Amino acid sequence: MVKTLKQKNRYKRGYLVAVLAGIEENTAVLWKVFSNVAKLEKTININGTRNNPKDLYNFHESIINALRPTLSEGVRSIVLSSPVRTKYHQELINHIREHHKWLTQGSNKATLSKMTGSAKTPPQVVALTRTPTFRQLISETTEKETENLIKILEKRINTTDNNTLVMFSLEEAENLILKKQKPSEPKPEYLMLTDKYLAANRQKKRLHRLMQIAANRKVKTRIIKAESPAGKRLTQLGSFICLAQLE
């Protein structure tokens, strides 16, 4: 059950799952949705009115810019919500499709979902994330996202390109990520592991340290549900993968 981070003293936040953006008439509120909590990320106010096309364009651009840091972490699941009898979420999707094709095309595309409901305040977010609709959306959205990651993984495994590197062990990933990179060495890009690998690992402090340093160094880190199609494939490969490439 997802809580808000105000209750963090009693609940571990878990791992990052998706981004929830509550789009209101004059405000957008971004939340990072972890497996156990939702954390307020940023509130964006429109400078002007929705009736002014330029103001609306700038408002949408501000939302995209606010999403960029989380997207750079490797999260590509975005759920957009707006109040009943509004289409604010669809207007943002239309803006993305017209002006930000990098978010909708290619191997690193984001998976966008929309639902009805307000996500402006912590109580609203708790209520929204408890609904079967939200849980189903998160499941479907993250499954599509992880399928895209597995496509990247399969391509890397089957390539003959010497500029790419696939590592299957914690030790190998540490040797690459924890040290200072030389220009001649492959740059780590992705760290993928299943939730069961994370839960069962006997060296959690070591693993969490690697994940934190990886995130600080802009390595896209994703935890994938082991029972999902992507998770089953990752389990076949040892449940832990690090991808790197020479620039």
Q: pLDDT tens digits for 77-86?
A: 899 999 999 9
**10 alpha-carbon distance from chain centroid:** 24
Which residues of the chain form beta strands (DSSP E)? 3-4, 16-23, 27-34, 37-45, 77-82, 111-116, 164-167, 187-194, 220-224, 240-245
Give the pLDDT confidence score for residue 59 in this predicted structure: 98
Asked whether 190 and 157 are in contact (CB, 8 A), the reply is: no
- Residue ranges in the chain whose pLDDT is less than 50: 1, 6-11
3-class DSSP assignment, residue 7: helix
Q: Report the candidate in 185, 135, 184 with the shortest Cα–Cα distance to residue 1.
A: 135
Tell me which fold the domain 3-143 belongs to: Nucleotidyltransferase; domain 5 (3.30.420)
Q: Which residues contact 160 (CB under 8 A, 6 or more apart)?
A: none
Asked whether 78 and 86 are in contact (CB, 8 A), the reply is: no
Report the alpha-carbon distance of residue 196 to residue 118 in Å, rounded. Answer: 33
**Intervals of CATH 3.30.1330.30 along the chain:** 159-245
Q: Class of the 159-245 domain? A: alpha beta
Instruction: State residue 9 phi and psi, 5-degree precision.
Output: -70, -20
Query: H helices then E strands: how many in the chain?
Result: 8, 10
Give the pLDDT confidence score for residue 2 in this predicted structure: 56
Give the pLDDT confidence score for residue 1 in this predicted structure: 47
Tell me the per-residue pLDDT of 203-220, one tens digit each, with 9 for 90 and over.
989 999 999 899 888 898
Report the alpha-carbon distance of residue 222 to residue 206 in Å, rounded. Answer: 17
Radius of gyration of the chain measured on its C-alpha atoms? 19
Q: Is 74 left (phi over 0), alpha (psi -120 to 50) or beta?
A: left
Residue with tokens 């998706």: 18
Q: State the pTM of this model.
A: 0.75
Give the pLDDT confidence score for residue 3 in this predicted structure: 56
Instruction: State residue 194 phi and psi, 5-degree precision.
Output: -85, 160
**Intervals of CATH 3.30.420.60 along the chain:** 3-143
